[in-house]
Amino acid sequence: MRCLPRESGDPARHGLSIDHRRPWNTGSPAGACHPAGQGPDRLAGDDNGGPEMTDTDTTRAMPRSAANAAPLLSVRNIEVVYDDVILVLRGLSLEVPQGAIVALLGANGAGKSTTLKAISGLLKTEDGEVTRGEIIFNGERINGIDPDKIVRRGIFQVMEGRRIIADMTSLENLRLGAFTRSDNEVGADIDMVFNYFPRLKERTGLAGYLSGGEQQMLAIGRALMARPKMILMDEPSMGLSPLLVKEVFAIIKAINRDLGVTILLVEQNARAALSVARHGYIMEQGKVVLDGTADELRDNEDVKEFYLGGAGDQRRSFKNLKSFKRRKRWL
């Protein structure tokens, strides 16, 4: 299996200074510095910081590589029910290795956001429950734990539609992201976020007046303020122009590379997601129907047809017989 080419990192492109590229996600306590060569760059056999792959890796290369080191997140055969009766996830399993970006793709209603909420504990706020299976993060079972405790364990979800606090400033929103912290480096991390997103520093008014792209950047910045081990991103491309999608995804990639933050990325924009992810899972009707490396998914005829626009306008119609047969073949 071929590795994705490593891109030349250019911190200046993102307005970064070297001082702000402080990895905090290689298992060390928050804020710890890493000796030369022992930060995320050492993990990064690829540009996403995932485990290095060799030519002998198979189609399931990511989970197999991860077998050498336990994955940071392991979702095992979970079932999710809303309101005690609505079964939405039906035996869903996936793994996210430390330091990787993994994409979770699928059509509307497949259960992607539900999967993220099951991991972050936010299901509870919507009368949802993991009724079967388990979710292991950093070696510990986390299903059933309250969302604030899950944040403290290192998982931060960037919700679909941004969900920033509209009548607070960007700065206040960022401070809010650090609610779990008691160290004295919050100010330095705000500077770091402003280095990733310089335009947020210029916009001193209420966050509700920010553009859609700026709100997305603020939501990601707020997540970084928690110094998470892992960010769950729900549709960061939603409502953004193609140019902004490119910009936001370049920053997602830079954050993963520079800080070693592991990312599980839910997207309907499969093309954008596979441009930054190392591995992807495709969901339909509450379960994973396909997974593989980003290259494999991009080359897969079904993925091209359903998610990469290979069939033009026709791909939207499941009444189309050929598409329907393809879909059945997956299930």
Span from 81-89, 209-217, 255-263, 311-319 in contact with ligand ATP (CB under 6 A): 81-89
Nearer of residues 114 and 300 to ligand ATP, judged by Cβ: 114
Residues 154-173 that bind ligand ATP (CB under 6 A): none
- Written as one letter, the residue type at 28 is S
| Shortest reach from residue 111's CB to ligand ATP, in Å | 4
DSSP secondary structure, 254-312, as one string = HHHHHH--EEEEEES-HHHHHHH-SEEEEEETTEEEEEEEHHHHHH-HHHHHHHS-TTG
At 240, give phi and psi (nearest 5°). Answer: -100, 150
Q: Kindly give, in sequence order, each residue whose CB lies less than 8 Å from that of residue 72, ignoring residues fewer than 6 positions away.
A: 96, 97, 98, 99, 137, 138, 229, 230, 262
What is the spatial distance between Cα 138 and Cα 299, in angstroms, rounded to a whole number?
32
Span from 22-30, 41-49, 108-116, 149-157 in contact with ligand ATP (CB under 6 A): 108-116
Residues 112-151 that bind ligand ATP (CB under 6 A): 112-114, 126, 128
Binding flags for ligand ATP, 254-293, as an x/- string (CB under 6 A): --------------x-------------------------
DSSP secondary structure, 198-235, as one string = HHHHH--SBGGGS-HHHHHHHHHHHHHTT--SEEEEE-
Residue 111 sits in the site that holds ligand ATP (CB under 6 A): yes
CB-based contact 124:75 (threshold 8 Å): no
Nearer of residues 88 and 200 to ligand ATP, judged by Cβ: 88
What is the spatial distance between Cα 59 and Cα 291, in angstroms, rounded to a whole number?
8
Q: b/e string for 202-233 if b means 16 or more Cβ within 10 A?
A: ebeeebeebeebbbbbbbbbbbbbbbbbbbbb
Residues near ligand ATP (CB under 6 A), total: 15
What is the spatial distance between Cα 180 and Cα 151, in angstroms, rounded to a whole number?
8
Nearer of residues 200 and 265 to ligand ATP, judged by Cβ: 265
Residue 84 sits in the site that holds ligand ATP (CB under 6 A): no
Residue 82 sits in the site that holds ligand ATP (CB under 6 A): yes
Nearer of residues 159 and 193 to ligand ATP, judged by Cβ: 159
Residue 21 sits in the site that holds ligand ATP (CB under 6 A): no
Span from 106-114, 133-141, 176-184, 290-298 in contact with ligand ATP (CB under 6 A): 106-114
Nearer of residues 142 and 159 to ligand ATP, judged by Cβ: 159
Nearer of residues 112 and 279 to ligand ATP, judged by Cβ: 112
What is the spatial distance between Cα 287 and Cα 297, in angstroms, rounded to a whole number?
17
Q: Binder to ligand ATP among 88, 174, 178, 200 (CB under 6 A)?
A: 88
The tokens for 70 are 């336990």
Is residue 87 helix, strand or coil? strand
| Shortest reach from residue 288's CB to ligand ATP, in Å | 12
Residues that bind ligand ATP (CB under 6 A): 82-83, 86, 88, 106, 108-114, 126, 128, 268
